[in-house]
């Protein structure tokens, strides 16, 4: 949020609202996949027990989407006197909520929902193809169960990149379908490598200023200090 706000010169509340919607639709895609899987597939008992939770969560996010779309826009005063930190925080949260409601429209939500479901379907395909490439013949229902299990804690990352937790959840789920746990850990590392490294490289190529801008600023600052010291030498 801080990087984008500084680079694009956009208010951080707007960036935060956009990120919040992005995370919400990631959650919606997961809930849709979970609701469909527990309703039509034979999953392990641990996932089967989440059927009522999945449908309640789907109803909850649907109500939230309807609320955001139908929420009326509020006209904020142009100048507001902000004294204490409490007033500033309250004004920031109000701006965040107003922005969240302002960018929430039916067409946007429709496109975002379709794209989110497509992303989860492609991720499922990635899991399946990677396992097949490693001669790890996990059935489709096992792949669905694995992707649901490893993404249960996507909102809170226990480790950087969820490394370790991802492999453990994938291996435990695959072992429930009679697969070798050690081989499953190796497949999980392959899957996570494909998910992290290409996206990181693509991000660096598309926005190199986030990494190299600071180096250039430091180099310019060092050159400025050197020029200043040279200019002061004759005076000494």
Mean pLDDT within 200-204 = 85
Residues 76 and 98: beta-carbon distance below 8 Å: yes
Domain boundaries, the chain: 9-76+88-225
| 6-10, 127-131, 157-161, 226-230: least confident range | 226-230
Q: Residue 13: name the closest of 108, 99, 103 by CA.
A: 99
| 64-73, 80-89, 210-219: least confident range | 210-219
CA atoms of 43 and 49, how far apart (whole Å): 10
Whether 204 shows a pLDDT value over 90: the answer reads: no
**Coil vs helix vs strand at 41:** coil
More confident residue, 164 or 130: 130
Give the confidence band of 210 by pLDDT, cuts at 50, 70, 90: low
| 6-10, 11-15, 26-30, 211-215: least confident range | 211-215
Residues 121 and 114: beta-carbon distance below 8 Å: no
φ, ψ of residue 89 in degrees (nearest 5): -65, -40
Q: What is the DSSP string of 63-90?
A: HHHHHHHHPPP----S-----SHHHHHH
Mean pLDDT within 198-204 = 86
pTM reported for the whole predicted model:
0.71
Give the confidence band of 183 by pLDDT, cuts at 50, 70, 90: very high
Residues 53 and 148: beta-carbon distance below 8 Å: no
């Amino acid at each position: 949020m801080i990087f984008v706000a500084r680079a694009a010169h956009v208010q951080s509340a707007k960036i935060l609202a956009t990120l919040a919607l992005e995370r919400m639709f990631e959650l919606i895609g997961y809930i849709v996949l979970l609701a469909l899987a527990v309703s039509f597939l034979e999953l392990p008992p641990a996932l089967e027990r989440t059927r009522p939770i999945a449908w309640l969560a789907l109803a909850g996010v649907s109500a939230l989407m309807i609320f955001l779309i139908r929420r009326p826009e509020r006209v904020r005063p142009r100048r507001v006197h902000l004294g204490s930190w409490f007033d500033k925080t309250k004004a920031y949260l109000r701006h965040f909520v107003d922005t969240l409601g302002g960018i929430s429209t039916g067409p946007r939500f429709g496109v975002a929902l379709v794209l989110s479901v497509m992303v989860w379907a492609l991720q499922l395909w990635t899991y399946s193809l990677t396992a097949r490439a490693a001669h790890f013949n996990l059935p489709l229902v096992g792949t669905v169960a694995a992707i649901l299990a490893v993404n249960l804690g996507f909102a809170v990352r226990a480790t950087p990149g969820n490394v370790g937790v991802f492999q453990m959840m994938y291996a435990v789920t695959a072992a429930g379908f009679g697969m070798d746990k050690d081989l499953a850990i190796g497949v999980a590392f392959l899957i996570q490598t494909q998910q992290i490294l290409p996206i990181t490289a693509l991000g660096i190529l598309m926005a190199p200023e986030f990494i190299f801008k600071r180096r250039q600023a430091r180099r310019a600052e060092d050159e400025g200090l050197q020029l200043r010291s040279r200019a002061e030498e004759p005076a000494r």
